[in-house]
Amino acid sequence: MSNPASPTEFETVTATSPAVVPVRLGDRSYDVLIGPDLLRDAGRRIAAVAPGAACGIVTDTTVAAHHLAPLQASLDEAGLRHTVVTVAPGEGSKSYAGFAEVCDALLAARLERGDCVVALGGGVVGDLAGFAAASLKRGMTLVQLPTSLLAQVDSSVGGKTAINSPLGKNLVGAFHQPSLVLADTASLDTLAPREFRAGYAELVKYGLIDDLDFFQWLERYRGAVCGGGLERVEAIRRAVAAKAAVVARDEFETGDRALLNLGHTFGHALERLTGYDGTRLVHGEGVAIGMSLAFRYSVHEGLCSGQDAERVTAHLRAAGLPTSIGAIPGWTADADAMLDAMAQDKKVSRGSLTFILARGIGQSFIARGVVPERVRAFLRDELPPDGERA
């Protein structure tokens, strides 16, 4: 993975011959397939991992309008019975009520333990359908069909599923690996530009964690990645391969899987304090600001050069992403509220904060025992003065 791939290296990816990234987890191993038009062929591939299973498709109204019909046709062709549960788009569906609704609808369709929950959508649908699949009859087969960039490079791979509590994001869930992930890169063409940009933040994350070479590659090919084509497939393949390697080492996040949370401790607090209001802040934007904050806090602590932190924010800004709290419309919370929101994070241990910090681009590490008072002081400088709030 060290040399920037030239376009010729990934020219062979086609609908019938997608890129394949195996996730190696013993008897829970599975493949992530990446390429154009995979949804049209989904029935045959699902039948291969769950022969004869009935499928409970979980999707949202926006995604359904674009992708449900071809998926259903493909399942019909493969001879798989299917039923559909449609939820409202947006983070609000990842709630206790949304969970109950999806579970009961799948039960009403008489899905059995050996049948298959098919998550067709972005991160919200994947997390919600995944937690339902983990819980229904104490565990059903799950297939992820991620249709957003964010879901393709992050949430659909690795088995984390969850819903939100009023007390914080992703606080109630399960580790439940899918049996197959089909990342149809053509489906990204239907994304709103803001959603595509949000997913791009998670792509950048893999470079920032431990792959300076990938970050440099993205600096060079960002235009092509955003424009579609083979560079996009290659960017997703590299991100998924990076995630698969971490997950294979640490499935249940007892160790360095926590690195994947770069930008997320700050980001989740930002999302919580904006009430998960997707008109103000979507998840990937929270991660973009969170990564910027993590790098600037690393500079503040004398760990990282200011040059590297500026290079990170410059790239994110060039991709159209926000990089400071002041960019969030209507922001009013203070540093204490931020600390309070972060205290509910899953990575808190015995009251002390754990952050992912960096010694430079591609040199992130898990920092335990971060002193809240130092973070508070840093955030006071970061927060926009009252008069300048967006």
* Contact footprint for a copy of itself (CB under 8 A): 52, 96-97, 99-100, 103-104, 107-108, 110, 112-114, 131, 134-139, 160, 162, 165-168, 171-175, 252, 343-344, 346, 348-350
Q: Is 169 annotated as a binding residue?
A: yes
Nearer to a copy of itself, 35 or 98 (CB): 98
261 is known as an active-site residue: yes
d(CA 213, CA 3): 7
Nearer to a copy of itself, 7 or 114 (CB): 114
Q: Is 137 annotated as a binding residue?
A: no
Query: Considering 268, 272, 300, 346, which one is annotated as catalytic?
Result: 268
Query: Considering 195, 253, 271, 285, which one is annotated as catalytic?
Result: 253
Residues present in the chain in total: 390
Q: How far is the CB of 73 from a copy of itself (least distance, A)?
A: 24
Which residue, 73, 178, 181, 87, is CA-closest to 125? 87
* Whole-number Cα distances in Å, 58 to 35, 121, 294: 22, 8, 35
Q: How far is the CB of 223 from a copy of itself (least distance, A)?
A: 38
Pairing, β 30-35 against β 19-23: antiparallel
Q: Which residue has the tokens 């004398």?
A: 302
State which amino acid sits at residue 354. Answer: T
Q: Is 123 annotated as a binding residue?
A: yes
Q: Is 8 annotated as a binding residue?
A: no
Nearest-10 crossing angle of helices 193-210, 230-249: 50
Q: Is residue 324 a contact partner of residue 289, using CB atoms and an 8 Å limit? A: yes
Nearer to a copy of itself, 23 or 208 (CB): 23
Nearer to a copy of itself, 251 or 285 (CB): 251
Q: What is the dihedral of CA 168, 171, 177, 178, to 10 degrees?
A: -40
| Residue 369: Cβ within 10 Å count | 11
202 is known as an active-site residue: yes
Nearer to a copy of itself, 67 or 243 (CB): 243
Q: Is 202 annotated as a binding residue?
A: yes
State which amino acid sits at residue 258. Answer: A
137 is known as an active-site residue: no
Token pair belonging to 59? 């999707």
138 is known as an active-site residue: yes
> Which positions are catalytic?
138, 160, 202, 243, 253, 257, 261, 264, 268, 283
Detail the residues annotated as belonging to a binding site for Zn(2+).
Answer: 202, 264, 283
Detail the residues annotated as belonging to a binding site.
Answer: 123-127, 147-148, 160, 169, 202, 264, 283
